[in-house]
Amino acid sequence: MYDLIGIQNKVVQADELENILNERRKKGDKIVFTNGCFDVLHVGHVRYLLQARLMGDMLVVGLNSDKSVRLLKGDKRPIVPDRERAELLSHLASVDYICLFDELRPDRLIERVKPDIHVKGGDYRAENLPEAKTVERFGGKVVVVGLVEGKSTTNIIDKIIQLHAARP
């Protein structure tokens, strides 16, 4: 999808991803999926993605496009454009594939990925997760992992605003 050094074909369109995953399923691989904005990548994201990857044989990240981040977070977001967020994620060893999506929720992408495990961060509860029914319809399960205390994009943005406001 992109001609950037280091991406190594990790950023793929949904059609290509579906074909790749069908082949991996035939080999018996367990597919783990997660999704998010990953705007201003931080250690909490990295640890979360590593936890997710350790649950299976491969990790697919559904990445909210700039359009969907704006709908979710407001007109001032994302801070980092989707091409750059995808490139950053592609350099993490824990991430096997990245697929951007424009919708507010990842249901349509989940229908194509059909993950064995769908992982979300600890600020969610599995039974309240809107896409849980989609995951379960394909035989998958939802797993919620803990957050890294104090590590969030919101905290980073707030700190930058405070530091900027304190400048002489």
Residue ranges per domain, the chain? 14-166
119 token code pair: 């992982």
What is the pLDDT at residue 1?
Answer: 45
Nearest to 139 by CA among 115, 120, 108: 115
What is the pLDDT at residue 10?
Answer: 96
What is the pLDDT at residue 5?
Answer: 53
Which residue, chain included where needed, has tokens 């990925």? 113
What is the pLDDT at residue 35?
Answer: 97
Please say whether the beta carbons of 62 and 33 come within 8 A: yes
Over pLDDT 90: what percentage of the chain?
Answer: 75
CA–CA dist 15, 37 (Å, integer):
21
Q: What does the pLDDT look like over 101-145, one tens digit per residue?
A: 999 999 999 999 999 999 998 777 778 889 999 999 999 999 999
List for the chain the helix, strand, coil content (%; round to 5).
40, 15, 40
Q: What is the CATH number of domain 14-166?
A: 3.40.50.620
User: DSSP letters of 13-47?
Assistant: -HHHHHHHHHHHHHTTPPEEEEEE---S--HHHHH
| Residues in the chain, overall count | 168
Cα 126 from chain centroid?
17
CA–CA dist 67, 48 (Å, integer):
24
What is the pLDDT at residue 155?
Answer: 75
CA–CA dist 26, 3 (Å, integer):
30
Residue ranges of the chain whose pLDDT lies below 50: 1-2
- Burial pattern 75-109, b for ≥16 Cβ within 10 A else e, equals eebbbbebbebbbbbbebebbbbbbbbeeebbeeb
